[in-house]
Structure 1
Amino acid sequence: MKLHIVPAKTGFTWVKLGVQAFRRQPMALAALFFISYVAMKLLTSVPVLGSIASLVLLPSVTLAMMVATGESIQGHRPTPALLLVTFRKGRQHLRHMLLLGVLYALGFLGIMGLSALVDGGRFVQVYMDGMPVTAQMASDPSFQKAMWLATLLSLPLSLLFWHAPGLVHWHGIPPIKALFFSMMACVRNAGACLVFLFTWLGIGVLGALLISIISLLLGLGLGDESIGSMLLISAGMMMATMILTCVVFIFRDCFEPPESLLHEAPHDTPPSDAPTAGPN
């Protein structure tokens, strides 16, 4: 398995390919994401254990969306059965994916714990329990510090787990090695990853601004239960789905691609080879 280094402009290509893949099967991919979202919400409604279980299963959900995108670009219709892909590839694969999930849960809970030390746990309540943010809370320096600490620490956690599910699933890499190679791929391709990130940030800001303006002009409102608010939420979920459909193309360009993706959605920018990242 080799790690590929790609030009920064490849970040735009990843966005384009993800959108194109979504357009092939928009209803199927959006439904898969929605089912995953609802399932996670139902899990988190179970006190303590439900929230932990949802964190453990998050890498498996990411993998399911990657596999679903692969199905889409091959002309197949993804089905909800793909959400069980982690459980259908043998015991070793299941153990590795669950271990990956446990490591993610520990990392995430560790970040939340550190933020709680700063503001007494108010940011954790907002982030995990949906507690509303008051003006007094938002202006509190301790709350702001907790929010920024959690945000900054979440970045390396995301980089560690960005490629890890694909490495475990398609290359059979053990979880700890998969985390190392995932971080290495993100760092070595930082330019493309930043272009990808800021492109989606720009799309999100412009999309939210456009929907807000149209909602105000048409008198749809932006309150909690208004049509404008529902449009914003729907657009946000659609964008989140498209971001997840990009992941498999990022994975394919950064590593030796899985056999099922070798001949699909060709690379706009051929990657350059770097030294071998590690044994399979």
Structure 2
Amino acid sequence: MYRFLLTPRWLGYLALTLVAAALMVFLGNWQLDRYRGRTAVNERIDAGATMAPAPLSDAMPAPTGGPGTAGPAPADELTWTRVTATGRYDGTNVVLVRGRTVDSTVGFEVLTPLVLDDGTAVLVDRGWIPPAPGGGAIAQPQVPAAPTGPVTVSGRVVASESGGGAVDRRDGKLEIRRIGVPRIARELPYPIHGGYLLLDEQSRATDPAFKAVPIGHTNNWQNFGYVVQWWLFAGMSLVGYGWVARREARRAAGLGKPRPPVDRAAEPAPSATA
């Protein structure tokens, strides 16, 4: 009854079905890996909100190169953890990161190098400020001065962002579109750590002009939905092949022929009862 499945045509259908199902399972597994990775990021973000800060060196190795270089990037499992560092802000090398949105308003994040006792530095994201009034989203703001003297900061470890284009210097400040630590390092007179710190608090008062940069959780459930979707598609393709094969087998056996219509007019009329 199912010998037709061994014909070249049906073997071809089977091969295509299996390849398609395998590809869909692979895509589901890929999305599962992304779901697990994003879930781990969210867990680190949540844990960092309550953990005691660790020394900076526990999360980011000190740079070993000369001025203008960046150290190793923080390990993935250490991003978003909370660390502390003590040094002096270098207010002459402020970095403005343009095109950053907080509360639906486009403005700037302000990075200031914190120079440590060993002569290296770590970039500290002190917060967000709006552009100068009346000049549009790229109008350079008046940046509050960084505290002078020794300061101790605690903040989240954030990895360098990719891309971002060239670093510009305008009105004595560096500007960039994305926080690309290696690019920024080339403009500074000392080696810097391979990631940066998103400021939580510092020992000297933070200027109220800054708004805290919110930490957003990744949308891991979207990836989980894709996992279910691809695996369902894989199962449906196999079930669909089986359904088409069964229909073909029934047709070949004559089991799927429609019944002829019944001529009701030719049937004898029921006898009348008194």
**Looking at CA atoms only, which structure, 1 or 2, has the larger radius of gyration?**
2
TM range (shorter): under 0.3
TM-score by length of 2: 0.20
Structure number with the higher strand fraction is: 2
TM-score by length of 1: 0.20
